[in-house]
Amino acid sequence: MERAPDRERAIILLSGGVDSTTCLAIAREEGRELYALSFRYGQRHLQELDRAARIAVRFGVKRHIVVDFDMRTIGGSALTAGGEIPKGRDPDAIAAGGIPSTYVPARNTVFLSFALAWAEVIGALEIFIGVNAIDFSGYPDCRPAFIEAFQRLVEVATRAGVEGRPVRIRAPLLHMTKAEIIAKGLSLGVDYAMTHSCYDPPADRPACGRCDSCLLRRKGFAAAGVSDPIDYGD
């Protein structure tokens, strides 16, 4: 393991979306040395990786790596195995509508596991993840119980954990509305024009404007009283 640095290192799970970029801004505000981790896992919205790379550069990330694995071989999600992306749902009822077809089985568990392994290697003390339990899409791995359970796993499943130095899982947006997240990011200088949220972007513009992710984003910007810089074509 590398020697611990003078500044505390933090790994940020960076998708290139509103939430993960806001987490990156929070980690920077707290003075962390920033390490970003993204994934090419067979998602249909690969544009997010280009955005994540640009955002990492903008924030002065020490190192940004993209891990490749293919969850299409497992299937079970409209984001990886094809199938219809839900469109035009009432954004106020999305979370209440059950787990949608865009849920990717165990995705955040897999993502955090990679981050945990890297944290042990580089001596990072924290992992930031942009999960949210208020304005979200009903995913079980975006809930407080999941974060609490994974923290317990960290304490028993890693060398750092059993030696009394467990990595801390940080979910600073967990109990914030999308509007509150956007306001926080803007206060920290986030340029949300750089971010990508759409699950099913068309060929001629960056976002469809009608999938669950777009609708929750648009609702958040409207509630925050600021214009969404993304072009939805309408």
* Digit-coded pLDDT (tens) for 123-150: 999 999 999 988 777 899 999 999 999 9
Q: DSSP assignment of 20-58, as one string?
A: HHHHHHHHHHTTPEEEEEEEESS-S-THHHHHHHHHHHH
* Mean pLDDT of the region 49-73: 97
Residue 149 DSSP class: H
Q: What would the pLDDT profile of 83-127 be if each residue is shown by its tens digit?
A: 889 999 998 888 777 889 999 999 999 999 999 999 999 999 999
Q: What would the pLDDT profile of 158-172 be if each residue is shown by its tens digit?
A: 999 999 999 999 999
b/e per residue 198-217 (b: at least 16 CB within 10 A): bbbbeeeebbbbbbbbbbbb
List residues bridging with 63 in a β-sheet. 35
pLDDT computed for residue 82 by the predictor? 79
Residue type, 190: V
pLDDT computed for residue 127 by the predictor? 98
In angstroms, the CA 212 to CA 215 distance is 5
